[in-house]
A and B are shown apart, each in its own frame.
Chain A
Amino acid sequence: MAKKGSGQNQAEENYLNESRRNFFKQSSLLTALAVTPPAFLKAAEEGLDEKAAGYFEKMPLAIQINGVNHDLSVEPRTTLLDLIREQLALPGTKKGCDHGQCGACTVHVNGNRVLSCLTLAVTAEGKKVTTIEGLADGEKLHPMQEAFIKYDGFQCGYCTPGQIMSGIACIREGHANSDDEIREYMSGNICRCGAYPNIVKAIADVKKGGQTL
């Protein structure tokens, strides 16, 4: 599954990940069905281009997650969130509402923050996805992770991965120039514990640091 392996940590990580969730959620009818030629034939007949998945069929998906290339097969209905949590055993990205209303599932796709719960995994074909697990370089934390620790930007921690992914993007997009602007552009991430004041401080501090994120 995983193609890249940079040193022992990565290998160990992959091993852990694989053993962690060998069993992923599946719709009982669908398990055995892989991508089948008829879907492509049908697509060809109809003059459609590129790839197609037939009803109850899985779809091939080449995707890069946290720098690792994966060749997978997924049902069209699988969201990017379920793919990374269930199939790729990266549970750092959280499912808070599953309807695009809380921001806990925020990840970066090609560098842009999106909600993975409303993204069908198949639409991320050929794209680069970064999750919370992909931020730190070994033991060295990303500046935004450091800042969230420094300013206590969390309580229960459940929304934190989404807040951090969103905070990084907020700065990258150039929307962290004032506390008010940070609030406006971070409003898609709900924190029920109310750690908001510290989240604003953390993002403002990273912005002030001026590092390229």
Chain B
Amino acid sequence: MKNIDSKTHTRGKSIYLDDIPLLQGTLFGAAFGSPIAHGIIRSLNISVAEQMPGVIKVFTAKDVTGENQIGGIIPDEPLLAEHEVDFCGMPVAFVVAQSDDAARAAVKTITIDIEPLPVITDPREAKARGELIVPPRTFSLGNVDTAWQACEYIFEGIAETNGQEHLYIETQGAYVIPQENGALKVYSSTQGPTAVQRASCRVTGLPMHLVEVEVTRLGGGFGGKEDQANTWAALCALAAHRLRKPVKYSLHRMEDMAMTGKRHPYSSDYKIGFDKDLKMVAYEATFYQNAGAAADLSPAIMERTLLHCTNSYFIPNVKATAYSCRTHLPPNTAFRGFGGPQSMFVIESAIAKAADTLGIDSAVIQKKNLIKTGDEFPFGQKAVSEAAECWKKAEQLYEVNSIREGIKDFNSKNQIYKKGLALMPVCFGISFTNTAMNQARSLVHVYFDGSVSVSTGAVEMGQGVNTKILQVAAIVFSIHPDRVKVQTTSTSRIANTSPSAASATADLNGKATYLACTRILERLKKVAAEELGVDENLIELKDEYVFVNNVQSDLDWKKLVNTAHLKRVGISEHANYATPEIYFDKAKEKGHAFSYHVYGTAVTVVTVDCLRGIYEIDAVKVVHDFGTSMNPAIDIGQIEGGIVQGIGWMTMEEIIYDKEGKLRSNALSTYKVPDIYSAPKEISIDFLQSDKDNLAIFRSKAVGEPPFMYGIGTYFALRNAIKAFNPLAHIPFNAPMTPEKTLLALYSNPQPLSKEIKRKDEEAVTSVAIN
């Protein structure tokens, strides 16, 4: 089935936040952000701004009617800075004026005097100073300390990944309209309507039933609007609450880039040990997460880093520790993969390090150690694995051996162009790691004209979740999809929603919808049985008709629901779904964290121009464990998009903060995301056929985040191509591999020569210990 937004998207008729018709008298907000990253506010001068033409009011911390706090997991983030600023761009004042231009002009006149404090941008430095968001956590399995003795080979080093700007093409924004009796209606471009509701209530002091948050769709989210949509909505809510006027704030691109957090940069230490057959025996990793200035979602992201620290491999002895380090960058936040990609990069680096040193292909190590059904993850859950199945199918289907031979041949014949190959297995857990968030509700109304309305907590942001939810209703009722409308996401219709995140939205909201529809269906069957005078068990709804014992009756869907209504049978339902089986014991750091895992293997081939350091992605060929895809077109789109975004993270997307904590890559011209040319020339996607049961909606496994990590293969393919040109190349495990880094690596000596270009700690001296 086609994406239900096809028609409106292609006609320009889809409504996003900035397209909502404005009410007369709407005011416009603009935030004044701190010009420096850390310091004590000595004075703030808003008097000029207040006198600017069109300005209605300039809000500061003292104008907050409720609590000046928007921190979700930990209350450590004021809406408006009061005494101290903790990052560049931290909102300090909020100007509300009669026009967008007037608000922004007034912002420019605000001055602030700040007594500067030391700025930390490096997570290891923050950790050394004891600046942690939450206490560190350690996951362990077996006993690493004794296991090293059993290792034939041990390798250690450092691996680092940079952040990633979400760059949703629709920037953040909110539009808040006062309602009668002090209520507020909040339109927000958010993945988390309830989070926005909670933050708006907190800063205004209103109870949740007076604040309705409504979302039609997002122009991209990718995690960036999970928690970070709260600020703008809360600012507008506060202003609308105080002024009793509609207030809108749609961020400009450069404001959005400067003021919002990104994917967490990580710096990590790894140590990996193998037996003589290259089976992994022990793995120790320490992750330093650059959380930025406030918790935001960092503790949860740190948790997923630990949950995915062994990626798709089984290692009997593991010790993984993560530190969430408080720095003076904007609070970093969710981004597709949610800490998982960062730890997967580390173990893949450890494997590459071992392979380099031993002079073998990484794939030899990867393949030997894939996790099998029944193997234990470091957090205690037993795997139901498709890892080897995906790997083997990829090897066969894409003829990896002949690709490898072809590359060898190409590289021997070409001086300047070198190809590289890498395989990237992925194992990604589906569920919120916070067990309580694994719940959803669906409100289904069947109207007596036969049309159906479905409301859930899911937010449509391009992932096609509304299409899948519509499919659920149409399939359960066996009616034409045109009869079903998926409504906007509103906290008045569906309360206490979990954000659309963790790849789990279609599962949770789809299952709730399934439950609601099934209950209505049961009642309708009863009505049909009465009407037709037959046993209820013989009734089935098929293709808009009631069937009795597989024979079509005259009773069609429309007549049936109308009859039910006349008989005063309820044809509406509100259902609650809670993912079964999952739990997690944080004291032991053990549990059944995920309802299931998604597996896959990507084969990536790249060509590097060794004169210039630029490269092309020739192909990414994937075998992916979809379960049984309920919408292949949408799922393939998610895979392709995830791969392109993952490649961006690993190659061209480079976030640069200077030592003062100012973002230097603050526009699309200085921060490059993949353009149409950067997508792989070939993407092949194969559906792994599997009959294993799973908890996904209609056994159609979640597909939002897992493919992102296929992009990691690109980094290692590039690395292999560089080594084909210069076998002694010094290539620190430091993503992204930009063209300039590629060039430097191509012409590097075994020891780094050009000290000037070192950004952070280069790789430490590594050791190969052979016992």
Contact = CB atoms under 8 A, between A and B. Distances in A.
A164 interface: yes
Interface string B159-170: 000000011111
A190 B675 CA distance: 6
A27 interface: yes
Interface residues on A, range: 35 or more
Interface in A80-94: 89-94
B10 A160 contact: yes
Contact of B24 (A23, A93, A189): A23
A80 to B, nearest CB: 15
A116 interface: no
A21 B21 CA distance: 6
Nearest to A159: B169
Interface residues of B, number: 71
A48 interface: no
B66 interface: no
Interface in B1-58: 2-3, 5-16, 18-19, 21-26, 28, 53-54
Contacts of A132: 11-12
B169 A161 contact: no
Given A133-B12, A190-B668, A192-B220, A157 B462 contact: yes
A200 interface: yes
A11 B634 CA distance: 37
A64 interface: no
Interface in A89-119: 89-99, 101-102, 104
Nearest to B248: A25
A191 B673 CA distance: 9
Interface in A168-213: 182-184, 186-187, 189-200
A154 B679 contact: no
A123 interface: no
Interface string B633-667: 11011101111110000000000000000000001
A101 B669 contact: yes
Contact of A97 (B9, B23, B99, B253): B253
Most buried by A among B26, B252, B640: B640
B253 A98 contact: yes
Interface string A146-176: 0011001011111111001000000000000
A91 B644 CA distance: 28
A86 to B, nearest CB: 9
Given A25-B101, A96-B170, A99-B253, A196 B668 contact: no
Interface in A34-93: 89-93
Given A23-B25, A27-B54, A149 B100 contact: no
Contacts of B102: 27-28
Contacts of B675: 187, 190
Contact of A187 (B97, B637, B677): B677
Interface in B206-228: 217-222
Contacts of A32: none
B11 A141 contact: yes
B6 A155 contact: no
Q: Which of A26, A148, A156, A193 is packed against the most chain B CB atoms within 10 Å?
A: A156
A1 interface: no
Interface in B38-89: 53-54
Contacts of A33: none
B683 interface: yes
B628 interface: no
Contacts of A149: 2, 6-7, 10
A156 B637 contact: no
User: Which of B166, B463, B667, B677 neighbours the largest number of chain A CB atoms within 10 Å of its CB?
Assistant: B677
A45 B254 CA distance: 42
Given A21-B22, A149-B6, A192-B673, A92 B170 contact: no
A92 B99 contact: no
Among A95, A132, A149, A193, chain B packs the most CB atoms within 10 A around the CB of A193
A93 B12 CA distance: 7
B676 A191 contact: yes
Given A94-B169, A102-B668, A158-B219, A196 B637 contact: no
Given A25-B100, A157-B219, A193 B24 contact: no
A156 B464 CA distance: 8
A13 B299 CA distance: 50
Contact of B98 (A28, A148, A154, A160): A28
B10 A145 contact: yes
A22 B24 contact: yes
Contacts of A191: 169, 676
A115 B31 CA distance: 27
Contact of B169 (A92, A156, A184): A156
Given A28-B53, A190-B675, A199-B676, 15 more contacts: A20-B21, A26-B98, A94-B219, A96-B170, A149-B10, A152-B2, A156-B169, A156-B170, A159-B169, A183-B676, A190-B167, A192-B645, A193-B641, A194-B641, A194-B645
9 contacts: A94-B16, A96-B253, A98-B253, A152-B633, A154-B462, A155-B464, A158-B462, A193-B637, A195-B640
Closest 10 CB pairs of A and B: A92-B12, A156-B462, A158-B219, A194-B644, A28-B54, A132-B12, A155-B462, A194-B641, A157-B9, A101-B668
